[in-house]
Amino acid sequence: MSSSKIPLSSPTDSRKQGDVYLKFRLNTQTGAVLSVKHTQEAIVQPVELITPMPNMPSCILGLMNWRSHVIWAIDLPKMLNLESLDNRQQYNIIIIRSDALVLGLVVQEIKGTIKFMINDIRSPLGQVNSSLVPYLCGCFIQEEEILLVLDAKNIVHSSIFHSD
């Protein structure tokens, strides 16, 4: 079974200003965005194409092949101490890159792209659990929904992946 791609771009309105973010659901309750500057691709991949590895943190689902590179597939909600994903036949995976490091972030659902100004990002303090703060740039409020603005660099450089 082959993986299918989800387009990261849509027709843009040149009058709208701001940075572009990939919008997705971490789990059934939590919406989030990642800057497309760090987003390589969004794919749907069958569960059986992820190879589990023994003795790894529970948020690490295993290894996967992405464009002839072997990368880690991460249950992002579990990494962030949120409600984990339910059992599925396939994973929605966001491939992110920061510096030379690449990860596959498994999320509930990929919603498309959204544009907003960096000035619209609010402090996450008081809005979210303090354990999330190291992985956030802040929060963005859209139509009464709080979207977590995730920091790809801090996710990739998390101590979960680098034991010193």
Give yes or no for a contact between 108 and 94, defined as CB atoms under 8 angstroms apart. no
pLDDT of res. 162 = 55
What pLDDT, on a 0 to 100 scale, did the predictor assign at position 163? 52
Residue in the structure block whose two tokens are 């920091």: 151
pTM: 0.84
CATH architecture, domain defined by 4-9+18-155: Beta Barrel (2.40)
Domain ranges (residues) in the chain: 4-9+18-155
Name residues whose C-beta falls within 8 Å of residue 58's C-beta, 6 or more positions apart in sequence. Answer: 75, 78
Check residue 90 and give its pLDDT: 93
Residue 11, pLDDT score? 45
Per run of 10 residues, the mean pLDDT along the chain (length 164 residues) is 51 62 92 94 95 93 95 94 81 93 94 90 77 88 87 87 53
Dist CA 157 CA 151 (whole Å) = 10
